Amino acid sequence: MKCVFCGHQLAKDTQTIERRIKTHLVCVKNVPVDSCHFCGEVYVDDNIVSVTNQILHFLKDQQISNNVVVDFKTFLEQSAANLNNDSKRELHNLVTA
């Protein structure tokens, strides 16, 4: 795949995405992206955006009192493993303050 801005080849990479929930900073680390090492443009697949939104919606429902760091890959693995269980408590363990 090529960058739509500069035409250079994109490379698979990971990044940390930062968002705010109320007054708290949420960092989702190890988010898979395609990035252009020439111009710096970053592309995120729709499926990745969907999972990141699931993480943010999950945290929005929690009573978080600090800034939060979530590992994207671990969240994805654990949420798939706990799909048939009451996973909210399990998923809460993936969040580190």
pLDDT digit string (tens) for the chain, length 97 residues:
999 999 999 999 999 999 999 899 999 999 999 999 999 999 999 999 999 999 999 898 888 889 999 999 999 888 877 765 555 555 555 555 4
Which two structure tokens, joined as six digits, stand for 60? Answer: 């929005």
Question: What pLDDT, on a 0 to 100 scale, did the predictor assign at position 50?
Answer: 94
Strand, coil or helix: what is 47? helix
Which two structure tokens, joined as six digits, stand for 74? Answer: 């671990």
Give the total residue count for the chain: 97
